[in-house]
C-alpha cells in the first residue's frame, strides 16, 4: 500500500474544504462507484490539493470546485502508479528490472 498523500497546504486551499464539502463527497461517491471503495475524503482532498497546487488554481470557489470535479479515477491511479515506481527498486544488482 502506498503512503498517505502529503498534507501540505501552502496555498490555503483548506479554508475552502468546508464550503465545498458537498462537491468533495459527490466526487468521492463517484470514485467509489468506479471501484475505489477504500478511498477516503481526506485522501481525495489531499490529492485534489496537490493537483490544484501544481496547476496554480486561483483561490476562488468556482475554480476550486471546477478543478475538483475534473479529477478522474485515471488521474488518481496514475498518481498511485508513479508513487509505486518511485518506491520500487528498479535496479537489481546494477541491472534494470525491465
pLDDT confidence tier of residue 9, bands split at 50, 70 and 90: low
DSSP string, 15-82: HHHHHHHHHHHHHHHHHHHTT-TT--HHHHHHHHHHHHHHHT--S-HHHHHHHHHH--HHHHHHHHHH
Instruction: Give the Cα separation of 39 and 89 in Å (integer).
Output: 26
- What does pTM read for this prediction? 0.76
Q: Which tens digit of pLDDT belongs to each residue from 32-68?
A: 999 999 999 999 999 999 999 999 988 889 999 999 9
Q: Which tens digit of pLDDT belongs to each residue from 20-31?
A: 999 999 999 999
Contacts of 94 (CB under 8 A, 6+ apart): none
State the pLDDT at residue 31. Answer: 97
Amino acid at each position: 500500500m502506498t503512503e498517505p498523500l502529503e498534507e501540505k497546504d501552502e496555498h490555503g486551499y483548506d479554508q475552502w474544504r468546508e464550503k465545498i464539502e458537498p462537491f468533495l463527497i459527490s466526487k468521492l461517491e463517484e470514485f467509489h462507484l468506479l471501484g475505489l471503495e477504500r478511498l477516503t475524503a481526506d485522501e481525495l482532498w489531499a490529492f485534489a490539493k496537490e493537483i490544484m497546487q501544481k496547476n496554480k488554481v486561483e483561490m476562488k470557489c468556482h475554480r476550486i470546485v471546477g478543478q475538483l470535479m475534473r479529477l478522474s479515477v485515471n488521474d488518481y491511479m496514475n498518481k498511485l502508479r508513479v508513487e509505486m515506481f518511485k518506491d520500487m527498486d528498479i535496479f537489481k544488482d546494477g541491472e534494470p528490472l525491465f
